[in-house]
């Protein structure tokens, strides 16, 4: 498509890029959406970045801009999800530590956590296995379970951690990371 610009002295013809139809883009976005649902949360940043890059490249007709936008959106999405999961992890750890700090050694108690986002709410049981002598702070060995799986056939897995009371009197999670990868949100 040509556009003409007139000035008092001359007329200039400029070719403008033709509009690119978005036919087929809805199918691509549907496939990307289905892939995100099947792949899970760990890969959502990559899919969102890819979709953003494709759209930016399509609208600007410049693949370099599409790649740049895709990488930036992926990084921002991954950071946002990491922050959300870290906050959920801290809430779960604080809940278990708070409850275990009030229990006498050997007593069982149910625990649960309900997050602001109704996702990954956990529950189970916990028990203080013993006191740990420490010159810096009072600490405890805690055993806790996470009940998961299907509602008809739930599974219960047990884990161990340490909690310590800080100078403000609050019991906090003291283990750097649990020994198993299953308890991923608490690592």
109 and 155, same structural domain? yes
71 and 37, same structural domain? yes
107 and 78, same structural domain? no
In a domain, 11, yes or no: no
176 and 104, same structural domain? yes
The H or E element containing residue 15 is strand 11-15
66 and 26, same structural domain? yes
Averaged pLDDT, 26-35: 55
In a domain, 27, yes or no: yes
Q: Is the pTM of this model over 0.75?
A: no
Averaged pLDDT, 20-48: 57
Range of the domain at 102: 91-180
168 and 95, same structural domain? yes
Strands (E), 86-185: 108-113, 122-132, 139-149, 154-165, 171-173
**Domain edge (last residue) among 31, 60, 83:** 83
165 and 121, same structural domain? yes
In a domain, 187, yes or no: no
In a domain, 14, yes or no: no
The pLDDT-based confidence of 17 (bands split at 50, 70, 90) is very low
pLDDT at 135: 82
Round to whole Å and give the CA distance between 99 and 123.
Answer: 13
95 and 79, same structural domain? no
| Strand pairing report for 108-113 and 122-132 | antiparallel
Round to whole Å and give the CA distance between 127 and 23.
Answer: 59
How many independent structural domains does the chain possess?
2
Round to whole Å and give the CA distance between 80 and 108.
Answer: 36
122 and 56, same structural domain? no
103 and 76, same structural domain? no
Residue 126 has pLDDT above 90, yes or no: yes
In a domain, 135, yes or no: yes
159 and 107, same structural domain? yes
In a domain, 10, yes or no: no
Q: How far is residue 147 from each of residues 107, 122, 126, measured CA to CA in Å?
A: 18, 7, 11
The pLDDT-based confidence of 178 (bands split at 50, 70, 90) is very low
114 and 60, same structural domain? no
């Amino acid at each position: 498509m040509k556009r003409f610009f007139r000035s008092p002295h001359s007329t200039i013809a400029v070719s403008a890029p033709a509009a690119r139809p978005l036919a087929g883009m809805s199918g691509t976005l549907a496939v990307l959406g289905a892939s995100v649902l099947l792949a899970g949360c760990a890969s959502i940043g990559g899919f969102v970045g890819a979709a953003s890059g494709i759209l930016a490249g399509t609208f600007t007709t410049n693949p370099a801009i599409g790649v740049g936008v895709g990488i930036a959106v992926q990084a921002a999405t991954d950071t946002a999800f990491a922050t959300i999961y870290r906050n959920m992890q801290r809430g779960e750890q604080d809940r278990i530590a708070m409850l275990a700090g009030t229990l006498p050694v050997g007593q069982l108690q149910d625990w649960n956590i309900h997050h602001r986002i109704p996702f990954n709410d956990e529950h189970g049981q916990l028990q203080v296995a013993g006191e740990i002598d420490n010159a810096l702070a009072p600490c405890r060995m805690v055993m806790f379970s996470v009940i998961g799986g299907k509602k008809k056939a739930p599974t219960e897995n047990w884990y161990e951690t340490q909690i310590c009371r800080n100078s403000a009197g609050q019991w906090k999670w003291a283990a750097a990371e649990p020994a198993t990868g299953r308890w991923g949100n608490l690592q």
